[in-house]
Structure formats: structure tokens, C-alpha cells
């Protein structure tokens, strides 16, 4: 009976490569694939009765201009541009992105074959007392070798693929953190600039009040010299004048400190800040439109938390792969010879090939602990993600509520200032005609001064509430920040003589 020919047995490397290909093709990756968790998203914002939106639902971020430009202040625009180019926190966040981008490359390299080389040269003498050497044989000898090596760990269970997935998610999370830093930076610059204009306005009010009271002091001094008023009335007027005087240095100090804070934010040394106008010349931008579901897809801290959840979910698979063996292929090839002249001749050639299978039998519970840690980290990341979303919606509703409240407060204070302005005129007429003492005039003027300062602060709070809303919505400005990889940005244009001198020592943007 004739025997059918047997199929040729594949070589060991061919068989292992076939196994790796089949496993990769079948998606042999342990651990759960990421699925975005369901979250309880509100259908509408609580305080959403806002003015006309800045964009329609069909508009995209690329179609919406940088939101801070809607305030209509060129100096503010220049400050923001300078801050995006030179702020140190943003540079630090950019450097972190570069670090994590390199980590992705390093992780991905684990799945690729590794190649190397080596060379040795050795000369030694053996002891005639311990070695049986024939007579006349030289106890001094030498050897030379030159080798090329290659190794490859077959990722049969997807451990490296899961680590690569986690590394890429961490990179995306770091990029979102960078965008979050930029969002906070822009919002802080705009809010700080509004505060600076608010303080300027309060200083103008205080200076005007001081000038008016100085005239009153001069008039009352003449009346006192003429015996028309008592010294008590003179002291009342003088005390009110000194109250106005005392308010000036406090406001000047606050203005200087606010200028210094803004200078550091934009990457300068402390110095003056140029203004493009005052609080009354700022344009209140319209409240932006945004459905609640859009918030999840645009706010950097939410996207960062989700990518951290993706990374922790992928590491579950990497931890589960620890239960299974690892398979590595190694090969070497080269030459070895006792004589350097014969190192690269045919008889000196050498090679080896090996497959190594390593798996755990007993690890003292370390692998189980690693898996429990991975699951616990995923659960923590999930809670952070859900809490971040809830805080984001709270931020939006808080900002909308503040906008409504400040709008009503400004309207009320404007009516109060108008009424007190008229009341001051009437009380002065009553005093001049002898119907009341000057204490009533002083009380009315004091109330007017306080109401004017409150009105200026309320107007500033209204603009700051708008800034808070844009920050809570993720801003309509993301496209203004350079995406990965971060491109070289030009140095900021100096805004004044001091800034020009400062720019000589400023580092260029990475």
C-alpha cells in the first residue's frame, strides 16, 4: 500500500509568525473595549432665557470668531494674543504634550522588532598549573566576535496594544489639558482687563468726588472766616473730604497690582497696561447658543476626563494579559574567530535562533492585585468623568444666573444713582435756602458716592459673568490655539516702551 506524502512541517519561526498573524487578525486583545458611558444630560439650562445667540446651531467653531474680540477693544485683543504666545503656564502645558507624544512613540516601539549589534575582542592567558596544555602550546590566546541581534515579542494577548491605546489616550488628555490652560488663560486675561477698567472707573468717580468736596471745603472755609457757619460744620465738610482723599491711594494700589498681575499673565515683567477705552466703551457680547449635549463635545476638561477614562479602561486589558505567557523570538548572527584576519571568513560564521515562552505559575497574588488596581482606577476615572460633566453644567447655569442677576442689579443701581444725583441737587438747594443743615447734604452725597462705586462694580461683574459663561461653555475660540504639533509662534508685539525693553529678555515660544 502506497503511503501519501506528508505535508512539510513549517519551521518554528514560520509557525510562530503564523500564530501571531492569526491572533492579530482575530482581534486577540484582552480587556473591554471602550464605550462612552451614559450620562444624565439636562435637556435645557435652568437660566437659558438669554438674548439672541451669537451663532446658529449649524455654525461650527471654525466659523465663530474669537469670543473676546466681541468686546470691541483692540488693546484687550493684543493682550490675549500676547498671553497665548508667551504665558509660562501655557508653555509648560505645551511641553507636557511633547512629553506624552514621545511616550506614545516609546510604547508603540515595544510592538516592533528590536535590532542591535555587538563586537568583542578578548586576550587572555591560562594557567599552566590548572590547564593541561601540550608542550610548546602558547598559554596566551585571543578571540574576536562581531554579532547582529534581533528580538521580537509577539503581542498575542494585546498587552502592548492596550498600553499603546492608553498612551495615545493620555496624549489626547494632555492636549485637552493644554487647551484647558489656554481657556483659563484667555478668560483670566479678559476678566483681569475688565477688573482693571472697573478700577479705573472707580478711580474716576473717587477723583470727581474729591474735586467736588475740595470746592466745598474752600467755600466753607471762606464762610467760616466770615462767621457764616460754625466750626462744627467746617469739620463735617473736612471729614468727608478726607474720606474721599483716603479712597484714592487704595484704588491706585489696586490698579497697580492688577496691572502687575496682567503683565505676568501675558509673560512680561510687572509694568503698565495700556487701555483701549473704559468700562462704558466695552461692548457686551451676545450670550452664545449651545445645547447641553454640545457641552460634552467641546469643553476641554470633559474631553480630558474622558480620555483619562479611555486610558484606564485600556490598562485593564494590559493587566489581564499578565495572566498569560509572553512569547519572544530572538536571533543572532555573526562571526567568531581566534584570529582577527579570519573573523569574516566562511568558517567563522555563527548564528542562533530561539523562541522563549514565559508564563506565570505563582506570583503571590501580584497579578490579581494588578487587575484589581486597574479596575479600581477605571472606576475612579468614571466617577471623575461623570462629576466633571455635572460641574460643567453647574458652571453654565451659575454663569447664566449671574448674568441675569447682574443685569437687573445694574438697572436698579442706574435708577438709584439717577435718583441720588437729583437728591443731592435738592438737598443743596434746601441747605442754601436754610431749610436744613449741611448734615443732610453730606449724607446724600455719601450715598451717591457709594451708589456710583457699586454701579461701576456691578457693570464689571456683568462683563465678568459673560466671561465665566464663555469659559463654562468651552469658549468659541479653540481654533485660536495651535493644535498638535505646536508650531513656532512669533514673539508678541510690544505694547509700549516698557514692554519693548522687556521683550529683549523674553524667551521665544516653544
Three-state secondary-structure class, residue 64: coil
DSSP-derived secondary structure for 76-115: HHHHHHHHHHH-HHHHHHHHHHHHHHHHHHHHHHTTS-EE
pLDDT-derived band at 498 (thresholds 50, 70, 90) equals very low
pLDDT of 131 = 64
Single out the residue of 156, 168, 39, 47 nearest to residue 100, CA to CA. 168
Residue at 305 is within a domain: yes
Single out the residue of 187, 80, 154, 175 nearest to residue 358, CA to CA. 154
| Beta pairing partners, 351 | 333
pLDDT-derived band at 253 (thresholds 50, 70, 90) equals very high
Q: Is the pLDDT of residue 376 over 90?
A: yes
Residue at 164 is within a domain: yes
Three-state secondary-structure class, residue 215: helix
CB of 417 within 8 A of CB of 455? yes
**pLDDT tens-digit series, residues 162-207:** 888 898 999 989 998 898 898 899 999 999 999 999 999 999 999 9
Residue at 2 is within a domain: no
**pLDDT tens-digit series, residues 342-358:** 667 767 778 888 888 88
Instruction: Tell me which of 472 and 11 has the higher pLDDT.
Output: 472
Single out the residue of 328, 327, 346, 348 nearest to residue 337, CA to CA. 348
What is the residue whose three cell numbers read 447641553?
292
Residue at 123 is within a domain: no
Q: Is the pLDDT of residue 371 over 50?
A: yes
Single out the residue of 135, 143, 56, 130 nearest to residue 339, CA to CA. 143
**pLDDT tens-digit series, residues 75-131:** 999 999 999 988 998 889 888 898 888 988 888 888 888 889 888 888 887 776 666
pLDDT of 130 = 66
Sign of the CA dihedral running 263, 268, 270, 271: negative
CB of 199 within 8 A of CB of 456? no
Inter-CA distances, 268 with 78, 85, 87, Å = 13, 11, 9
Q: Is the pLDDT of residue 497 over 70?
A: no
What is the rounded average pLDDT of the residues 308-336?
86
Burial 11-42 (b: 16+ CB within 10 A, else e): eeeeebeeebeebeeeeebbbeebeeeeeeee
Q: Is the pLDDT of residue 322 over 90?
A: no
* Grid cell for residue 402: 449671574
> Which structural domain, as residue segments, surrounds residue 204?
25-113+156-327+370-503
**pLDDT tens-digit series, residues 443-485:** 898 999 999 999 999 999 999 999 998 888 887 644 444 443 3
Residue at 357 is within a domain: no
pLDDT of 438 = 81
CATH number of the domain enclosing 397: 1.20.1600.10
Residue at 335 is within a domain: no
What is the rounded average pLDDT of the residues 263-281?
92
pLDDT of 227 = 83
**pLDDT tens-digit series, residues 273-305:** 999 989 999 988 877 766 677 777 778 999 999
Residue at 233 is within a domain: yes
Alpha-helical segments (H) within 334-437? 366-432
Q: How far apart are CA 266 and CA 498, in angstroms?
A: 14
Q: How far apart are CA 30 and CA 158, in angstroms?
A: 6
Q: How far apart are CA 436 and CA 241, in angstroms?
A: 20
Q: Look at the chain and report how many structural domains it folds into.
A: 1
Dihedral angle at the C-alpha atoms of 424, 457, 72, 271, nearest 10 degrees?
Answer: 110
Q: How far apart are CA 218 and CA 226, in angstroms?
A: 13
Percent of the chain whose predicted confidence (pLDDT) is above 70: 81
**Averaged pLDDT of the chain:** 80
Single out the residue of 502, 194, 96, 162 nearest to residue 320, CA to CA. 162
Percent of the chain whose predicted confidence (pLDDT) is above 90: 30
pLDDT of 501 = 34
* 502 half-sphere exposure, CB direction, 13 A CA radius: 19
Residue at 151 is within a domain: no
Q: How far apart are CA 164 and CA 162, in angstroms?
A: 5
**pLDDT tens-digit series, residues 202-221:** 999 999 999 988 988 888 88
pLDDT of 505 = 29
Instruction: Mean pLDDT check: name the lowest of 13-17, 133-137, 251-255.
Output: 13-17
What is the residue whose three cell numbers read 457641552?
295
Amino acid at each position: 500500500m502506497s503511503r501519501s506524502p506528508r505535508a512539510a512541517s513549517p519551521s518554528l519561526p514560520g509557525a510562530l509568525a503564523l500564530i501571531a498573524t492569526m491572533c492579530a487578525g482575530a482581534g486577540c486583545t484582552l480587556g473591554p473595549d471602550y464605550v462612552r458611558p451614559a450620562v444624565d444630560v439636562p435637556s435645557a439650562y435652568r437660566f437659558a432665557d438669554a438674548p439672541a445667540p451669537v451663532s446658529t446651531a449649524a455654525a461650527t467653531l471654525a466659523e465663530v470668531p474669537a469670543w473676546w474680540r466681541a468686546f470691541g477693544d483692540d488693546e484687550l485683543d493684543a493682550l490675549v494674543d500676547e498671553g497665548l504666545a508667551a504665558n509660562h503656564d501655557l508653555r509648560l502645558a505645551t511641553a507636557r504634550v511633547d512629553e506624552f507624544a514621545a511616550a506614545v512613540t516609546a510604547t508603540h516601539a515595544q510592538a516592533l522588532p528590536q535590532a542591535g549589534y555587538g563586537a568583542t575582542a578578548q586576550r587572555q592567558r591560562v594557567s599552566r598549573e590548572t590547564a593541561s596544555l601540550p608542550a610548546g602550546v602558547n598559554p596566551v590566546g585571543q578571540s574576536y566576535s562581531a554579532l547582529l541581534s534581533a528580538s521580537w515579542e509577539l503581542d498575542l494577548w494585546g498587552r502592548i496594544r492596550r498600553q499603546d491605546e492608553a498612551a495615545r489616550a493620555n496624549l489626547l488628555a494632555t492636549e485637552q489639558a493644554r487647551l484647558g490652560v489656554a481657556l483659563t488663560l484667555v478668560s483670566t486675561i479678559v476678566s483681569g482687563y475688565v477688573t482693571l477698567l472697573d478700577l479705573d472707573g472707580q478711580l474716576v468717580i473717587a477723583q470727581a468726588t474729591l474735586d467736588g468736596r475740595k470746592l466745598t471745603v474752600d467755600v466753607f472755609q471762606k464762610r467760616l472766616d466770615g462767621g457764616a457757619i460754625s466750626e462744627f460744620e467746617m469739620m463735617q465738610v473736612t471729614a468727608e473730604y478726607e474720606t474721599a482723599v483716603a479712597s484714592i491711594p487704595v484704588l491706585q494700589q489696586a490698579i497697580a497690582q492688577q496691572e502687575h498681575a496682567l503683565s505676568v499673565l501675558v509673560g512680561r515683567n510687572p509694568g503698565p497696561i495700556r487701555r483701549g477705552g473704559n468700562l462704558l466703551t466695552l461692548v457686551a457680547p451676545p450670550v452664545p447658543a449651545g445645547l447641553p449635549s454640545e457641552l460634552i463635545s467641546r469643553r476641554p476638561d470633559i474631553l480630558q476626563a474622558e480620555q483619562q477614562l479611555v486610558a484606564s479602561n485600556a490598562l485593564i486589558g494590559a493587566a489581564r494579559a499578565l495572566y498569560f505567557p509572553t512569547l519572544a523570538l530572538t536571533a543572532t548572527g555573526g562571526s567568531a574567530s581566534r584570529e582577527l584576519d579570519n573573523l569574516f571568513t566562511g568558517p567563522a560564521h555563527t548564528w542562533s535562533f530561539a523562541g522563549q515562552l514565559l508564563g506565570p505559575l505563582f506570583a503571590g497574588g501580584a497579578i490579581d492585585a494588578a487587575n484589581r488596581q486597574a479596575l479600581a482606577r477605571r472606576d475612579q476615572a468614571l466617577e471623575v468623568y461623570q462629576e466633571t460633566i455635572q460641574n460643567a453644567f453647574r458652571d453654565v447655569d451659575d454663569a447664566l444666573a449671574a448674568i441675569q442677576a447682574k443685569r437687573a442689579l445694574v438697572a436698579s443701581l442706574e435708577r438709584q444713582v439717577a435718583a441720588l444725583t437729583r437728591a443731592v441737587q435738592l438737598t443743596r438747594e434746601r441747605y442754601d435756602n436754610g431749610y436744613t443743615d449741611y448734615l443732610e447734604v453730606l449724607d446724600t452725597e455719601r450715598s451717591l458716592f457709594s451708589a456710583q462705586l457699586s454701579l461701576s462694580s456691578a457693570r464689571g461683574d456683568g462683563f465678568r459673568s459673560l466671561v465665566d459663561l464663555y469659559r463654562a461653555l468651552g469658549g468659541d475660540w479653540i481654533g485660536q490655539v495651535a493644535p498638535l504639533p505646536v508650531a513656532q509662534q512669533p514673539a508678541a508685539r510690544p505694547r509700549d516702551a516698557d514692554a519693548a525693553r522687556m521683550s529683549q529678555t523674553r524667551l521665544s515660544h516653544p
